[in-house]
């Protein structure tokens, strides 16, 4: 089955994107990321020592078919985000950027106004922009208008593992979007990931649930399978949900 996800100039056969935070050791992270078969891995610019070519975090990720997606975690404004993105482009030699602007360090909720501003600016500067945002359908359309290559609405507050709490809004976003929709944040278990994929999300991004699991490698594999299952189910068209049973003796048969 040819079910390739295309974002900007890149094609992905895996719809599971992953992150690099919270792992207990780099070697464990490497094993988990390999098991996930993820081809897009996000890394916080602030965790990387860009001056050091032998940065162990980066070395632990780099493999063929794996793309590094630097993120701007830690910035509070559009100006800071644009600056950080440029630094990341220079240091990591990629024009892809996961735009995260969360001025609130407690819940790490994205600032929609600054994000839209930064996205517009970054697109003009030639970046492939992947914005982390609330599940806000209007904001998604506004971001699409300024030229982002996908949107990354949250399923629940980041790091909470609460699952797809924003389902009603995600459904609208997925229905209306002309760019890929990647559900980011809140996915705590493989069933959440499968659910997001069944809804029609183009991909999911999972970090905490893998990194903090007792067995990150096995959990990465579980997510890989769940995302595949959810995608296949979506393509196969789910049977409709019914709130009542079909009557065995139809009420209108007398009309025939």
Partner 1 sequence: MSFKNTFDTYDWDTVEKEIYSYTAQDVRHALDKEKIDLEDFKALISPAAKGFLEEMAQHSHALTKKRFGNTIQMYIPMYLSNECQNICTYCGFSMTNKIPRRTLSDAEILKEVAFLKSKGYDHILLVTGEANKTVGVSYLKNAIELIRAHFANISIEVQPLDQDEYEQLIEAGLYAVLVYQETYHEATYKTHHPKGRKSNFDYRLDTPDRLGKAGIHKIGIGALFGLEDWRVDSFYTALHLKYLQKTYWKTKYSISFPRLRPHQGEVQPKVEMTDADLVQLICAYRLLDEDVELSMSTRESERFRNNIISLGITSISAQSKTNPGGYVVDPQSLEQFEISDERDTDEIKQMIESQGYQAVWKDWDKSYFEIA
- Provide the annotated active-site residues: 98
Residues in the interface with partner 1 (CB under 8 A) total 31
Taking the complex as a whole, the smallest distance from the CB of residue 86 to partner 1 amounts, in Å, to: 10
Give the strand pairing for 10-12 and 5-7: antiparallel
Least Å distance, CB 199 to partner 1, is 25
Q: Which residue has the tokens 């760019």?
A: 179
Question: Quick one: 26 or 172, whose CB is closer to partner 1?
Answer: 26
Label each residue of 204-244 as H, E or C.
EEECHHHHCCCCHHHHHHHHHHHHHHHHHHHHHCCCCCCCC
Take residue 5 and report the two structure tokens written for it. 């996800």
Provide, rounded to whole angstroms, the least separation between the CB of residue 92 and partner 1: 13
Kindly state the smallest distance separating residue 59's Cβ from partner 1, in Å.
15
Nearer to partner 1, 81 or 151 (CB): 81
DSSP-derived 3-state class of residue 154: strand
Question: CB-wise, 24 or 59, nearer to partner 1?
Answer: 24
Among residues 53, 54, 64, 105, the one that binds partner 1 under rule CB under 8 A? 105
Residues 233/197, Cβ–Cβ less than 8 Å: yes
Cα separation, 73 vs 210, in Å, equals 19
Residues at the site binding partner 1, with contacts judged by CB under 8 A: 21-26, 44-50, 74-76, 79-80, 83-84, 87, 103-106, 159-161, 208, 211-212
């Amino acid at each position: 089955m040819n079910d390739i996800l295309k974002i900007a100039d890149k094609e992905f056969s895996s719809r599971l994107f992953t992150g690099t935070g919270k792992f207990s050791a780099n070697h464990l992270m490497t094993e988990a990321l390999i098991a996930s078969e993820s081809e897009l891995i996000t890394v916080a610019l602030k965790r990387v020592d860009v001056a050091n070519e032998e940065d162990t975090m980066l070395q632990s990720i780099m493999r063929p078919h794996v793309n590094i997606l630097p993120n701007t975690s830690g910035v509070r404004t559009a100006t800071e985000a644009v600056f950080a993105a440029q630094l990341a482009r220079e240091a990591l030699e990629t024009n892809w950027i996961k735009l995260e602007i969360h001025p609130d360090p407690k819940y790490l909720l994205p600032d929609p106004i600054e994000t839209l501003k930064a996205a517009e600016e970054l697109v003009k500067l030639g970046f492939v922009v992947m914005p982390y945002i609330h599940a806000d359908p209007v904001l998604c359309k506004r971001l699409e208008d300024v030229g982002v290559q996908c949107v990354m609405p949250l399923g629940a507050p980041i790091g909470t593992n609460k699952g797809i709490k924003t389902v009603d809004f995600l459904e609208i976003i997925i229905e209306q979007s002309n760019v890929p929709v990647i559900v980011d944040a809140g996915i705590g278990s493989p069933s959440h990931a499968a659910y997001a994929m069944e809804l029609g999300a183009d991909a999911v991004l999972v970090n905490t649930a893998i990194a903090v699991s007792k067995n990150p490698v096995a959990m990465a594999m579980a997510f890989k399978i769940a995302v595949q299952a959810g995608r296949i189910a979506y393509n196969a068209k789910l049977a409709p949900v019914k709130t009542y049973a079909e009557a065995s003796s139809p009420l209108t048969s007398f009309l025939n």
